[in-house]
Chain A
Amino acid sequence: MKRDISDKLCCFPRNKFGKILGYENNDLVMPNKIIEMGLLPQTVFKVLYQAPFSGPLYIEFGDEKSRIALREEEARFIIVESLT
């Protein structure tokens, strides 16, 4: 199935709830740290802020409301769906 670009974390609208479905990581270029930090499939998240000029994203996720910063390039590996 061909996915629409809006289904990636990098382009997800701000302050809306979404859920991680999986990763687009066929060439294994995605840093493992993303998974280690807890951005796992089925995790619910929200993009809170973004630094100017397409800077890093500020994401809150999971039951513990963990907060991490992620660049758009890394967020592009993560396939998500909207919950609203």
Chain B
Amino acid sequence: MNTSNKQILLVGNPNVGKSTVFNFLCGKKQKTGNYAGVTVASHSGGYEYKGERVEVIDLPGSYSIYPSSEDEAIFSKYLIDEQNNYSGVVYILEALSIKRGLLLFQQIQDLGIPIILVVNQIDQAQRRGITIDIAQLSKELNVTVLQANAKLNQGIEELRDEIHKQSFTKSETVSFDIPTEHRGLVFKILQETKEENQYKVWTLLSSDTYLGKLETVSEQMNNYEVKCLVPKRLQTQETIRRYQEIDKIIGKVISKKPQFKELLTEKLDKVLVHQFWGYVIFGFVLLFIFQSVFFLAEYPMNWISDFFLWLSGFVNAQLPAGPVNSLLANGIIPGVGGIVVFAPQIGILLYFLYLLEDSGYMSRVIFLMDRFLRPFGLNGKSIVPLVSGTACAIPAIMSTRNIENVKERLITILVTPFMTCSARLPVYSIIIGLIIPNKFFIGISYKALALMAMYFLGFFTSLMASLILKKIIKSKGTSFLVMDLPSYKMPLFGYDFKIVLGKVWEFITGAGKIIFLFSIVIWFFSYIGPKQNPKDFVATDVKLENSYLAKMGKSIEPAIAPLGYDWKMGVGILTSFVAREVFVGTMSTLYSLDEEAPEGTIIDKMRSDVKPNGEKVFSFATGISILFFYAFAMQCVSTLAVVYRETKSWKWTMAQLFGMSGLAYVASLFVYQILK
């Protein structure tokens, strides 16, 4: 079969159902955004139709071609820069807010980009008694218009067909009427450059920031007296003029029955954004999520941990005693198992966060929280990174891109890693299990309370850090909040589940790979030690205490002993510099290797371990010290990489690394010395 390739872009305002269209269009063949590698698109995927391979890129939503946030800047840049590399744009319009959607549509059309228009969520409009004359709309805009109800997979097949038939239309004329007073300048530039599109010249005059590659024009720019132009004023002029034209089109294509039915959204918002109940509900939503993370996850966690215990025993019994047996049964299996066991908790947390985002509830949370976050130098929009930081700081930091103000965005990026991410959970769970008694306070376990306290500690620290950063960082631009409150939608349960599975798998393979490697290295250095026989190069199969690993751990003891740690924890802290959860894998490996320790689970071994002076290794004081250390220390190379990519500043990346690590050391030292 003759297969050709085509690339299309999915574009539209935020919350118009782009993800749903994307999901149905690409079916199972999509790959979800790999946060580490994605620079422009949030998602890209593909499908095959009639022997043609189509690649779909889902761009971040935007209201206009003129960016007011990093997200929108990425959008505009991609749209204009890559114009020669894609076949066309599929523009998604929400039937209920056609007017707003047409603004960006016409801007893209005027740039001479081939486009197809899809009117989505027709059903919602019908419920409100609104009828859209699709044929008329198509005639007015001179574009192919399709109707869709993406949620029910309606209109998707037609869309595939139109994409296949190459029904994208490229507008030859510019619908925007350039104001008379600037026409002279625009035409003068046009004449002297190779550029043919007058709207492109206009966008260059009316944007403060460079919109993609318009080199043919920009080189000529300095020759003209453009300094007296105020880009912002031109933008305002354009927007108002365009809306006047759009109003005329709307008048011709939309008819409305007089009765107006109150939608679910209006009823829900009476409670969900209520001055009092809104916060109570948000509190309960968070509580419910965190409860689920611990109680729902308990069963799968037990299964996984039992499985690895069985596997380790099985391997130990089946293989002849020797290095391979030891490496597998005591090194790799417990190490990897120690991490996989946390996959259910991470999955559940992420799943709930995706559902909240999809349903439209998150923007209500922004509305509720804005006033409370502002004194800390943050924005209402910072609540999204902060809450999703409880799952993982990496996507959380990426989600700061919709914060318009540079300073607020930078502060949010810098403080988000303080939030208790899922990688800290393994560490917290083990330490809390070791040091907090199994008692209950009015039906709530001490352990759950301790864990909750750790979450509060993270949140409190990020607020305090914001307060300090607010004083340090110089302000750029004004802070503002203008945000759409979309109607509530039924979340895409299946789609989100798929994404979560992907993310959990990424976590397992990502962290798993590192832990696999470290398990081998740790096992190796615990298996060999300084020679005891002059003929040998090294001694093998030594006692853990005599191994090279113990030597290494002991060499950093002077630095960590004041915090209450022994050499094993020292090794754990060193290895977990890459990622916090590696600490648990390292501990599992180390304690499995220690044949001196009594038989039992790793937790039991850790609990009964004593220092040479007879003190318990994991006493209350040491435990709290470790908890504080992991609450503050940066210890995540991937996050550092993302912070650098988003801030493009070594200064801030390093400040964050050393600031957090320094705080971790001082805080641990302080609590240990007080509690011991």
Query: Which residues of A come within 8 Å of B, CB atoms?
Result: 25, 28-29, 31-38, 40-41, 48-56, 58, 62-71, 73-74
The contact sample of 22 A-B pairs, CB cut-off 8 A, is A25-B236, A31-B478, A31-B480, A32-B64, A33-B63, A33-B68, A33-B404, A36-B66, A38-B100, A40-B243, A49-B273, A49-B274, A56-B370, A58-B269, A64-B99, A66-B97, A67-B269, A69-B481, A69-B485, A71-B480, A73-B480, A74-B482
Interface centre among B66, B230, B483 (most CB of A within 10 A): B483
Q: Which residue of A lies closest to B363 (CB)?
A: A69
Which residues on A sit within 8 Å (CB–CB) of B370? 51, 55-56, 69, 71
B676 within 8 A of A: no
Query: Which residues of B come within 8 Å of A, CB atoms?
Result: 63-64, 66, 68, 96-100, 103, 230, 232-233, 235-236, 239-240, 243, 250, 256, 265, 269, 273-275, 278, 363, 366-368, 370-372, 380, 404, 478, 480-487
The 8 closest A-B pairs by CB, nearest first: A55-B371, A67-B485, A69-B367, A33-B482, A36-B64, A69-B483, A35-B239, A31-B480
Interface centre among B250, B256, B273 (most CB of A within 10 A): B273
A36 touches B275 (CB 8 A): no
A52 touches B275 (CB 8 A): yes
A40 touches B240 (CB 8 A): yes
Q: Which residue of B lies closest to A71 (CB)?
A: B481
Which residues on B sit within 8 Å (CB–CB) of A67? 265, 269, 484-487
A64 touches B96 (CB 8 A): yes
Which residues on B sit within 8 Å (CB–CB) of A29? 478
Name the one of A28, A38, A49 contacting B243, with C-beta atoms under 8 angstroms. A38
A32 touches B236 (CB 8 A): yes
Nearest Cβ on chain B to A82's Cβ, whole angstroms: 22
Decide if the interface of chain A is mainly helix, strand, loop or mixed.
loop
A37 touches B100 (CB 8 A): yes
Per the bound structure, the CA–CA distance linking A63 and B256 in Å amounts to 10
Q: Which residue of B lies closest to A74 (CB)?
A: B480
Per the bound structure, the CA–CA distance linking A62 and B404 in Å amounts to 25
Which residues on A sit within 8 Å (CB–CB) of B256? 63
Which residues on B sit within 8 Å (CB–CB) of A66? 97, 100, 484
Nearest Cβ on chain A to B423's Cβ, whole angstroms: 33
B275 touches A51 (CB 8 A): yes
Nearest Cβ on chain B to A60's Cβ, whole angstroms: 9
Q: Which residue of B lies closest to A38 (CB)?
A: B100
B233 touches A28 (CB 8 A): yes
A52 touches B367 (CB 8 A): no
Which residues on B sit within 8 Å (CB–CB) of A50? 275
Q: Which residue of A lies closest to B480 (CB)?
A: A31
B99 touches A62 (CB 8 A): yes
Per the bound structure, the CA–CA distance linking A50 and B366 in Å amounts to 13
Which residues on B sit within 8 Å (CB–CB) of A35? 236, 239-240
Which residues on B sit within 8 Å (CB–CB) of A31? 68, 404, 478, 480, 482
A68 touches B239 (CB 8 A): no
Per the bound structure, the CA–CA distance linking A58 and B275 in Å amounts to 12
Per the bound structure, the CA–CA distance linking A49 and B368 in Å amounts to 11
A58 touches B485 (CB 8 A): yes
Nearest Cβ on chain B to A17's Cβ, whole angstroms: 14
Nearest Cβ on chain B to A81's Cβ, whole angstroms: 18
Per the bound structure, the CA–CA distance linking A38 and B244 in Å amounts to 11
B97 touches A64 (CB 8 A): yes
Name the one of B66, B100, B366 contacting A69, with C-beta atoms under 8 angstroms. B366
Which residues on A sit within 8 Å (CB–CB) of B372? 53, 55
Q: Which residue of B lies closest to A64 (CB)?
A: B97
Which residues on A sit within 8 Å (CB–CB) of B233? 28
